[in-house]
């Protein structure tokens, strides 16, 4: 089944992409939730015209994403966490914590666009996260998990 995506869907595609999915996934999940529409010939023509009109705006968005990527690359992110014995954390550090740390630095990025390698961090140390700023602009951001200072 061919569908046109109406929003970005992780591990499937980006908004306005034409994707092939299994019939049940499209009919029972994507279409009822308004995430996609059927890729009929007329819908494809409308999509092509919309893409042509958005080309200029898209260039500007890519430039802004590249600027943001440079700014984020210059940051040194340190996330404090409570630590037990042998550098094990109480709980874990995930994309939510990284999004909060970036927000403190003045860069608001939604947590769904941040992927911490391994899912969650459970020990002190240096790690990396992939941040998707635009469909064509991705960034690998290094960060460090440090011990929280005791009061």
pLDDT given at position 3: 95
Q: What confidence tens digit (pLDDT) does each residue in 88-103 have?
A: 888 888 889 889 988 9
pLDDT band at 73 (very low <50, low <70, confident <90, very high): confident
Residue 57 token pair: 């705006």
Q: Determine the average pLDDT of the residues in 37-58.
A: 89
Tell which residue, 22, 23, 18, 21, has the closest CA to residue 4. Answer: 18
DSSP 150: P
Domains contained in the chain, CATH given: 2-64 (3.40.5.10), 70-147 (3.10.430.100)
Helices (H), 4-111: 23-25, 41-73, 95-104
- Cβ atoms of 148 and 79 within 8 Å: the answer is no
Q: Determine the average pLDDT of the residues in 127-136.
A: 88
| CA 12 – CA 17 distance, rounded (Å) | 9
For residue 79, give every residue at least 6 positions away whose Cβ sits within 8 Å of its Cβ, in sequence order, or none. Answer: 93, 97, 98, 101, 143, 144, 145, 146
């Amino acid at each position: 089944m061919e569908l046109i995506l109406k929003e970005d869907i992780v591990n499937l595609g980006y908004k306005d992409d034409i994707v092939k999915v299994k019939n049940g996934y499209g009919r029972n999940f994507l279409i009822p939730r308004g995430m996609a529409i059927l890729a009929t010939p007329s819908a494809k023509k409308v999509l092509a015209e919309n893409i042509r009109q958005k080309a200029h705006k898209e260039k500007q968005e890519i430039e802004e994403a590249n600027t943001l990527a440079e700014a984020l690359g210059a940051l040194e992110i340190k996330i404090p966490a409570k630590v037990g014995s042998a550098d094990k954390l109480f709980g874990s550090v995930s994309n939510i914590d990284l999004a909060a740390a970036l927000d403190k630095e003045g860069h608001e990025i939604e947590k769904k666009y941040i992927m911490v390698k391994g899912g969650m961090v459970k020990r002190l140390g240096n790690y990396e996260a992939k941040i998707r700023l635009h469909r064509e602009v991705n960034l690998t951001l290094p960060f460090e998990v440090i011990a929280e200072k005791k009061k």
